[in-house]
Structure 1
Amino acid sequence: MKNEKLIFWTGAMMACSLLMSCDKGADLTSSDDSSDNNPAGNSSGYIETVAVALAKNCPIHEQAGDDQWDESQVIQIALDENKITVNDNSTRGGIGIDGKQVIITAAGTYRLGGTIADGQIIVDSKDPESVRLVLDGLHISNSTTAPIYIKNAEKAVIVLMENSENEVTDGKSYVFDNAGDDEPNAAIFSKADLTICGNGSLVVNGNFNDGISSKDGLIISGGSIAVTSTDDGIRGKNYLVIRDGNITVTARGDGLNSDNEDDAGDGFILIENGNLNITASGDAIAAQTDALISDGEISLTAGGGSNYPIVSGKSAKGIKGVVKTIIDNGTLTVNAADDAIHSNSCLIVNGGDFTLTTGDDGLHADSTLGINGGNIQISKCYEGIESLIIVINDGSIHLKASDDGVNAADGTQGGFMPPGPGQSGGLATSNYYLYINGGYLAVNAGGDGFDINGSIEMTNGVVIIHGPTANNNGAIDYDRLFKISGGFLITSGSSGMAMAPSTSSTQYSLLLNFTKTIQAETLFHIQNSEGANLLSFAPTKNYQSITFSSPELKKGATYDIYSGGSYSGAINDGLYQDGAYTPGTKYTSFTVSNLVTKVNSR
């Protein structure tokens, strides 16, 4: 027993640095063994919000007044097939016309309207103030280059005039000024910080490459925007911020993208609110650093959805933050060929309503994954929740997995962890953990319900597992320890690999194996010697094993087990409550004398 505890706590201390740190550049190959703090206590504090993460990134360029202007200073530009007319009410000038090309060289506000083919609007201003383009019924196309090109500006603002309809379309091939040039490469292309705002509508057809692209930061704070693109739909290289708006993207590449990998504070995506509908052949949302969601109505389809195979070498995830993915709230519907929600390092869910279907993992992080709230429904997946370290503090989670429900393992298939006691290094099981400190988790798994290549610690919460029917998997599968000190646990499944919590626990548990398979929906019932109900459970699949742990199990008490019968109360996830049990067949009785009571099991 002493050796078993030593192994558990030594490994747990090594995991603590991962558990408590979601910072960029966190060292995932070493940790401090010197702390004597309880890792379960540390895990209960595993929370980081969008605001905290955002404060560590680069500042956003938006300023008050971006969507305001002096009407008397507006330069009116009307475009049509035959001529471009300029009505300059200002005294600044700064505009030139070259055929169907409008060249803006000074800061100011320019209202553009009309319909023109093979036209172009170029902004090339060295002024220290912003250039504001007010689109008021503009329909512009160009077959050989970007119809709107922000070549140089302190900052550019595109305003969608209220009730206006605007459309920007480029061609399938560009003609560049010099051989080797590769920009502009989007229907709306900016080399400066760009803000899009207003209450009008904008349709962007990116036939060459991207739909809307900024090489600096890009903010969208309003409007109804529909983008189709040959590659990425909407790209902000340094960052992409969506404050609000109705945004629809259909992209052959990524839907929303920020890809600056040179600066640690850049490459993030922030969604504060809005109604987003993204369909992408690649990732629906892809951030090189952080993918941050505060709120919004978000519907994502990636890689054709969960019924499509993942193309080799291609990422088709719903949401991907390479460094962090943090979701505070919102309503998210994700249908992805690859992971629904993913981080190469750290994933945190603080709240929100999730409906996830995926051909791979529902929630996946390569290092640490925390769930602190939310209503999460994973209706289809290969594995439900996967990371090296998983912490569930709160929330309601329902998942159906064709393989494992919750998997603490190396999802990268190549991680190296430092050696534990008696080990030579490699994929060290001492560094994989599942902590359950609260919440409600209902699992239906074709493989293991829990597949933990290390240890489990449960202090509170409700866990219901409808496990496998085949004997090569189990409802609970762990390599080291399962220490339970609180909460309610009920699992059903096959008996071949059935496991119970460890004897190092402080809450009592039962592991019962039947001598034959019991049919699905057959009630399993436990009552005390006075006939009071402890458990009435109807597994949804055939089963031959039950694992049960509850604070109601008391040392020295005797309990009766029944099979079959009926129950008059309400049922949720196979668990009956608030009713009366009509007995079936009494199967056996047991008396709690040890922390783990085993019936018909080794």
Structure 2
Amino acid sequence: MRRRLIPFALPLAVAGLVLAGCAVTAQPGSSTDTSTSTSQTTTETIAEVDSTIPAAAADLLAANADGTVVKDDEWSIADAVDVTLSGATATSSSSAVAVDGSTVTISAAGVYRLSGTLDGQVVVDAPEDALVVLVLDGATVTNADGSAIHVVSADDVAVNLAAGSTNTITGASSADADASAAIYADTDLTISGSGSLTVTDSGNDGISATDDLAIIGGTITVDAADDGLRGKDSLVVKDGAVSITAGGDALKSDQTDDATQGYVWIAGGTIDATAGDDGIDAQTDAVVTGGAITLATDDDGIHSETALAIAGGQIDITRSYEGIESADIRIAGGATSVTSSDDGVNASGNSTSGGGGMGGGGGMQDSGETLTISGGTLRIDADGDGLDSNGTISMTGGEVTVYGPTSNGNGALDSNGGITVSGGTLVAIGSSGMAESPETSSAQGWLAAAVDGSDGSSIQITDATGAVIASYTGVKDFQTVVFSSAAISSGQSYTVTVDGTATTVAAGQAVSGGMGGGMGGGRP
């Protein structure tokens, strides 16, 4: 078939990373003469980098392999062949649709509209160069012994949710089955449209593709024993409303053979996920540039093995063990809130020494991880370390508020390689036993104060003239406040007042007795 490289959804396209669209039946007025089967591959590319995506995310996306998507304007519903599902059987006028008992097999490229109820399985076994579009228009498919929709062979498959339709797909697949999901595609898979889809799998995954999985529309509800959405080569969500309950990971990409694949990119839409493992789990990169995302997880909120960038959107991690974890973490935009029972944001993974600093149970050496904050807003409520890195923490912009641990075994700030601040606003409120401050070499001034506060305590920072620089409210017991902004000048005196009790400090002087290194700032 013809495959062309096109912008996924401007202004989301970046140089070097585009989603390959699959052109099928020519639309009225089109000069392109195509079919739903085969044609030559073209190499149209995007010439300009979208300037609205910060480089922190654009660089990661540009280094990854192209994803594949079947857009709704690349096929026509007028070409659809009706497939009527009727209990334990089905009927269709197409010779490409075979019915054997309760198994419906589609063997050729084309557009197929499914409606009715089937207690059985829909199989796509088409040529390797075929595009197959399944339009679900009031379709219910239930398979008590495996996947309900199983794509055995094709080039690309799209599942389109017809406008106003309600569709239900239920499977009972097992982990060792050939098709281990209620909707399973051994090819690229796109979910699109404006209808609704409920997917349930009591044995394994909800929706799974061995190649690229793209969600570009629809109201999708997934309840899976293991992973909710899984695209082995890549998982991209651009649009739609997705709700996931998963025993394993909610959204996952796990290709291990190619460093340019195995990524998750959230570019838009809304996601509400509850997971027994990670909310978002990427073998390589996890990138968020848009959407709204709510995650409640028993392990990490967002996890990647290589790099993780947040450059837009709204993220609310309401429950997690660790909120955000990767070896290379870049916060460049968006509004992010994290609640965690351990570390809030943890840059780790380059060594086997465990978590950052003493709080993570590992060594104190700098093992090369990086946590870089250049924009956006980040709010952390952590029972472990707030901002944690086995390597360095660097802040050049943005607004970060950390409500750190009450235990002295962890700190609101914790790094092995030092903390530098040259822009933005940082406040870290937490315990005193492991308190750490930025390096004295930081370009932007900072202060640290030993105080005594609790949930509901008022915190006010004033300069030598009494002018208020910042105000906060405590959410748990705390003994230290670290603050940095453009309003702080090194060597000047400032007052931190907690519930009426004033503590005067000199900017650039760390709290003695903690991990701040006394007068020098940073680590000892």
TM-score when normalising by structure 2: 0.73
Contact map agreement 2:89 2:118 (CA 8 A) in 1: no
- Partner residue in 1 for 2:322: 339
Per-residue CA deviations over 1:344-375 (Å, capped at 9, x if unaligned) read: x1000111112211011111112101111112
Measured in 2, the distance between the counterparts of 1:575 and 1:368 equals: 33
Per-residue CA deviations over 1:145-182 (Å, capped at 9, x if unaligned) read: 211000000111110111100001113669xxxxxx63
Is 1:356 matched up with 2:335? no
Contact map agreement 1:106 1:127 (CA 8 A) in 2: no
- Partner residue in 1 for 2:246: 251
Contact map agreement 1:492 1:545 (CA 8 A) in 2: yes
Measured in 2, the distance between the counterparts of 1:537 and 1:69 equals: 56
Contact map agreement 2:148 2:182 (CA 8 A) in 1: yes
Deviation at 1:94, TM superposition (A): 1.9
Residue of 409, 414, 419 corresponding to 1:434: 419
Paired residue type of 2:445: G
Measured in 1, the distance between the counterparts of 2:100 and 2:469 equals: 81
CA pair 488-136 structure 1, distance change in 2 beyond 3 A: same
Per-residue CA deviations over 1:176-197 (Å, capped at 9, x if unaligned) read: xxxxx63111100000111110
Per-residue CA deviations over 1:394-419 (Å, capped at 9, x if unaligned) read: 1111111113011003xxxxxxxxxx
Is 1:55 matched up with 2:62? yes
Contact map agreement 1:492 1:547 (CA 8 A) in 2: no
CA pair 299-537 structure 1, distance change in 2 beyond 3 A: closer
Measured in 1, the distance between the counterparts of 2:511 and 2:429 equals: 24
Structure 2, unaligned runs of 5 or more: 1-53, 349-368, 513-517, 520-524
Measured in 1, the distance between the counterparts of 2:229 and 2:301 equals: 15
Contact map agreement 2:116 2:140 (CA 8 A) in 1: yes
Paired residue type of 2:301: G
Is 1:84 matched up with 2:90? yes
Contact map agreement 1:50 1:294 (CA 8 A) in 2: yes
Superposed, which structure 2 residues align to 1:6-85 within 5 Å? 48-63=55-70, 65-81=71-87, 83-85=89-91
Measured in 2, the distance between the counterparts of 1:228 and 1:268 equals: 22
CA pair 79-332 structure 1, distance change in 2 beyond 3 A: same
Measured in 1, the distance between the counterparts of 2:172 and 2:262 equals: 28
Measured in 2, the distance between the counterparts of 1:262 and 1:598 equals: 48
Paired residue type of 1:350: A
Contact map agreement 1:96 1:104 (CA 8 A) in 2: yes
- Partner residue in 1 for 2:40: none
Measured in 2, the distance between the counterparts of 1:230 and 1:162 equals: 29
Paired residue type of 1:152: S
Question: In structure 1, the residue corresponding to 2:59 is in which secondary structure?
Answer: helix
CA pair 169-489 structure 1, distance change in 2 beyond 3 A: same
Superposed, which structure 2 residues align to 1:498-537 within 5 Å? 527=464, 532-533=465-466
- Partner residue in 2 for 1:400: 403
Measured in 1, the distance between the counterparts of 2:510 and 2:233 equals: 58
Contact map agreement 2:249 2:281 (CA 8 A) in 1: yes
Contact map agreement 2:427 2:483 (CA 8 A) in 1: no
Question: In structure 2, the residue corresponding to 1:382 is in which secondary structure?
Answer: coil
CA pair 521-247 structure 1, distance change in 2 beyond 3 A: closer
Contact map agreement 2:449 2:511 (CA 8 A) in 1: no
- Partner residue in 1 for 2:381: 379
Query: Alpha carbon RMSD of aligned pairs, Å?
Result: 3.6
- Partner residue in 2 for 1:489: 447
Per-residue CA deviations over 1:294-333 (Å, capped at 9, x if unaligned) read: 1111000111xxxxxxxxxxxx100001101101111111
Contact map agreement 1:401 1:444 (CA 8 A) in 2: yes
Is 1:295 matched up with 2:290? yes
Deviation at 1:99, TM superposition (A): 1.1
Question: In structure 1, the residue corresponding to 2:255 is in which secondary structure?
Answer: coil
Paired residue type of 2:112: Y
Deviation at 1:450, TM superposition (A): 4.2
- Partner residue in 2 for 1:390: 393
Deviates more, 1:121-130 or 1:290-299: 121-130
Deviation at 1:129, TM superposition (A): 3.1
Question: In structure 2, the residue corresponding to 1:329 is in which secondary structure?
Answer: strand
Contact map agreement 2:423 2:444 (CA 8 A) in 1: no
Measured in 1, the distance between the counterparts of 2:511 and 2:197 equals: 66
Deviation at 1:285, TM superposition (A): 0.6
Measured in 2, the distance between the counterparts of 1:484 and 1:68 equals: 53
Contact map agreement 1:372 1:394 (CA 8 A) in 2: yes
- Partner residue in 1 for 2:9: none
Measured in 1, the distance between the counterparts of 2:229 and 2:246 equals: 9
- Partner residue in 2 for 1:188: 183
Per-residue CA deviations over 1:402-445 (Å, capped at 9, x if unaligned) read: 13011003xxxxxxxxxxxxxxxxxxxxxx12110111111211
Measured in 1, the distance between the counterparts of 2:435 and 2:419 equals: 9
Paired residue type of 1:110: Y
Contact map agreement 1:538 1:574 (CA 8 A) in 2: no
Measured in 2, the distance between the counterparts of 1:208 and 1:393 equals: 47
Measured in 2, the distance between the counterparts of 1:276 and 1:552 equals: 43
- Partner residue in 1 for 2:162: 161
Paired residue type of 2:399: S
CA pair 81-213 structure 1, distance change in 2 beyond 3 A: same
Question: In structure 2, the residue corresponding to 1:361 is in which secondary structure?
Answer: coil
User: Which of the two has higher C-alpha Rg?
Assistant: 1
CA pair 338-526 structure 1, distance change in 2 beyond 3 A: closer
Deviation at 1:551, TM superposition (A): 2.9
Question: In structure 2, the residue corresponding to 1:248 is in which secondary structure?
Answer: strand
Contact map agreement 1:537 1:574 (CA 8 A) in 2: no
Deviation at 1:595, TM superposition (A): 9.3
CA pair 596-357 structure 1, distance change in 2 beyond 3 A: closer
Contact map agreement 1:294 1:327 (CA 8 A) in 2: yes
- Partner residue in 2 for 1:325: 308
